[in-house]
Chains A and B, each alone.
Chain A
Amino acid sequence: LAKTTQPISMDSYEGQEVNITCSHNNIATNDYITWYQQFPSQGPRFIIQGYKTKVTNEVASLFIPADRKSSTLSLPRVSLSDTAVYYCLVAPVMNSGYSTLTFGKGTMLLVSP
């Protein structure tokens, strides 16, 4: 399984754009990159998933360079409620949809007023 490295913590202010970069140097060909958000005492919540280039949804964007050895989660105009731990995960997705997630150390994002 590809190992991921991301910042332990990040600070931001309301209204700013936050970019969290994750390194995954030994990503495999069939690995997908997935980001989850977790609030205290709640289950991880899916944010975004991608394989290459750029993916955008209603809450975030995911930028993946051509070599796929890193990825950047971009949160536009964060609010206080975005304070949470963000996990970057890299795992193969089988044709059956099956994929085992290995959580590493996430990034604690603190958004201040």
Chain B
Amino acid sequence: AAGVIQSPRHLIKEKRETATLKCYPIPRHDTVYWYQQGPGQDPQFLISFYEKMQSDKGSIPDRFSAQQFSDYHSELNMSSLELGDSALYFCASSPSDRPDQPQHFGDGTRLSIL
């Protein structure tokens, strides 16, 4: 079965640079969630989108922004990168017409800030 696709899988940036992470949800999933997991930490919710509109916001820094496009894929844009932004970034998706379906996660993008 198709899964959530995230790209790139690994990304290395320097301080103050920008980065864009992409997420392609499972087909027919219209809700996308972004999570950040620092080294040795638990995943933390950042932001979510439903039908291309932002639906909820968690602990996302003001330096980050995200959007969901007409094909339901989503991009997380990160600017003025800091060392503390080094983490695994996960995207999850779910279908809004199936409340019994849980969130399905991708395998993440590992972002390393030098």
Contacts and interface: CB of A to CB of B under 8 A. Distances in A.
Chain A bound to chain B: yes
Interface of A: 34, 36, 41-46, 49, 87, 93-106
Contacts, number: 72
B42 to A, nearest CB: 4
A96 B42 contact: no
Interface of B: 4, 31, 33, 35, 42-45, 48, 50, 55-56, 58, 88, 90, 92, 94-108, 110
Contact of A98 (B31, B45, B90, B106): B31
Nearest to B9: A41
Given A98-B96, A100-B33, A87 B45 contact: no
B103 A99 contact: yes
A61 B44 CA distance: 26
Given A97-B101, A98-B31, A98-B50, A43 B92 contact: yes
Contact of A34 (B43, B95, B102): B102
Contacts of B90: 43-44
Contacts of B31: 96-98
A110 to B, nearest CB: 16
28 contacts: A36-B105, A41-B88, A41-B107, A41-B108, A42-B108, A43-B92, A43-B106, A43-B107, A44-B43, A46-B104, A49-B100, A96-B96, A96-B99, A97-B94, A97-B95, A97-B98, A97-B100, A98-B31, A98-B48, A98-B50, A98-B94, A98-B96, A100-B45, A101-B33, A103-B35, A103-B45, A105-B42, A106-B42
Given A45-B105, A49-B102, A101 B45 contact: yes
Contacts of B42: 87, 103-106
A102 B94 CA distance: 16
